[in-house]
Amino acid sequence: MSIYEHIMTIQSNASTAYTYTENPEKDWFGARRVAPEQKTGLVLDVFHSVARKYDLMNDLMSGGVHRLWKDRLIRMIRPRANWKYLDVAGGTGDIAFRLHEATSGNAPITVCDINASMLKVGEARALDRGILHNLDWVEGNAEKLPFPDNSFDVYTIAFGLRNVTRIDAALKEAARVLKPGGRFFCLEFSHVDNPALSKAYALYSDKVIPKIGKAVAKDADSYKYLVESIRKFPRRNVLAKRLKLAGFRAARVTPLSFGMVAVHEARK
């Protein structure tokens, strides 16, 4: 029996016990409980629906700040041209394009996404930018990556981990495909620390974001799910523990924008 099959207690920063079993989010599609196999299909439907308007919606929902978060992620990576990169759940190419620019187009970058619609958007954007080399687009599931062991120097996943059905399985896969000493980076929505700001953020998320989704993407329900998925995502200290259980070391977290998002970093 693996360590993941045991119920274990993880101590939080407040010294309160958190009871943990592997992949606790697998049954939750936003605030609705579903079978894990059903969740994967429902998430696919969400991103098929929003793919064409995904980048525009990111700008509208965040006031463009998502670009600053992604730029900060790239600075934290400190990209080198002699590294191999894997960007998971990065179908529209935002992270891959930044890595391509930071390495002057000389580093091999693979984008892997489970959603063909998102990949089509990314490939079209790459052509618009004249990026024809050192950028591969692969359809695949973060829980079972179609790559050999020890293949990449850097693994990135931005605003995608919370949509994975089995997060712990995805973390173990990230560790598997990274080379020894390889680095893991996850940029994801987190939990606002300040109570007053948290309340205002919750109100904005519940009342405004679905309306923007309805007006721009003609899909309020998908954006309602995306808001709910943020709330189901594990707390920062808990995800750091889960990274270590998945085979990583030196896991650390950098909150950004008062904890609205965070960069989770670890090394194999």
* Cβ count within 10 A of residue 211: 11
Assign domain 3-267 one CATH number from 3.30.930.10, 3.40.50.150, 3.90.330.10, 3.30.70.3040.
Answer: 3.40.50.150
pLDDT grade for 5, boundaries at 50, 70 and 90: very low
The per-residue pLDDT for range 79-100, each reduced to its tens digit, is: 999 999 999 999 889 999 999 9
pTM to 2 decimal places: 0.86
Q: Where are the domains of the chain?
A: 3-267
Query: How far is it, in rounded angstroms, from Cα 239 to Cα 192?
Result: 16
Residue 2 tokens read as: 């693996």
Predicted local confidence at residue 110, as pLDDT: 98
The per-residue pLDDT for range 197-234, each reduced to its tens digit, is: 888 888 888 888 878 777 876 777 777 877 788 888 88
The per-residue pLDDT for range 26-83, each reduced to its tens digit, is: 887 777 888 888 888 877 787 777 677 777 777 777 788 899 999 999 999 999 999 9
Q: Return left, alpha or beta for 234; rule: phi > 0 is left, psi -120 to 50 is alpha, else beta.
A: beta
- To the nearest 10°, the Cα dihedral for 92, 24, 36, 244? 50
